[in-house]
A = this chain, B = another copy of it.
Amino acid sequence: MSNTKVLPLLEPADGQGVVPCCPPLTERPMTAEEAETAARMFKALGDPVRLRLFSAVASHEGGEACVCDISDVGVSQPTVSHHLKKLKEAGLLTSERRGTWVYYRVEPSVLAAMGKLLALPTAA
């Protein structure tokens, strides 16, 4: 089934890529709604196994990797699958089946938006 809920940090822009959900953390206090959205992403990265999986995908050639390439993180196969699903639901990864294998990929714009969230004040 493909009813996996995706509640991304970002919303698709008309042109290309995505647009950040929230202003930088340091710009002004986040509202409850903004915090709810952004916390979902941080939470998804808040588990060591998920962080390794995410890093493995993000650092793989072309920003994309087969599950078989990244599943050596010390937990069982169902657990890997479970964590990848969580990362997908958080909007951090997308997946696509090509023949026998399933490939996960990270949108560069997602990384960019996360970086902006943590941006330092320009003036300093």
Contacts and interface: CB of A to CB of B under 8 A. Distances in A.
A40 B42 CA distance: 10
Interface stretch (A12-20, A97-105, A107-115): A107-115
A58 interface: yes
The A interface is mostly helix, strand or loop, or mixed, namely helix
B55 A29 contact: yes
Interface of A: 25-32, 35-36, 38-40, 42-52, 54-56, 58-59, 63, 70, 73-74, 108, 111-112, 114-115, 118-120, 124
Most buried by B among A28, A43, A44, A55: A55
Contact of A108 (B48, B58, B124): B124
Given A35-B49, A39-B51, A112-B120, 4 more contacts: A29-B59, A32-B73, A35-B52, A111-B118
Contacts of A44: 46
A46 B48 contact: no
